[in-house]
Amino acid sequence: MDGAVLTPRERYVLPGISRQTTIDLANRLSLPCREADLDLYDAANADEVFITSTNFCICPIRSINGQRMADTAIPGTVTKRLMDAYVEHVGFDWVAQYLRYQDVAATGPSGGR
């Protein structure tokens, strides 16, 4: 959507630390970032979509309501830039940790037994 990073207005989402950190990082990376009135149509037609949260910091979205997003790499280039900047900012690579333990996350520590 015109090359900008868009985020819902604060009245529609939790104005949390992860969201604000991502906005700050976008500004630092000279990525245009602004609040907008967004709905599922906007998300489904965006070039890239991610969410911010305490657990995953920035998490790329592959599908919405079972509908796969555009045929682009996940994460997309903008999302990847923001994820890399976030990892550098906090000094911890949560993506690498998740990938290292994704089998445990999916099946539990007992391997699903």
> What percent of the chain is predicted at pLDDT more than 70?
88
Per-residue model confidence as pLDDT tens digits over 29-88: 999 999 999 999 999 889 999 999 988 899 999 988 888 877 778 899 999 999 999 999
Dump the DSSP string for 12-76. TS---HHHHHHHHHHHHTT--EEEE---HHHHHTSS--EEEETTTEEEE--EETTEE--SS-SS-
At residue 106, does pLDDT exceed 70? no
Per-residue model confidence as pLDDT tens digits over 18-38: 999 999 999 999 999 999 999
Per-residue model confidence as pLDDT tens digits over 81-93: 999 999 999 999 8
Domains of the chain: 5-107 (3.20.10.10)
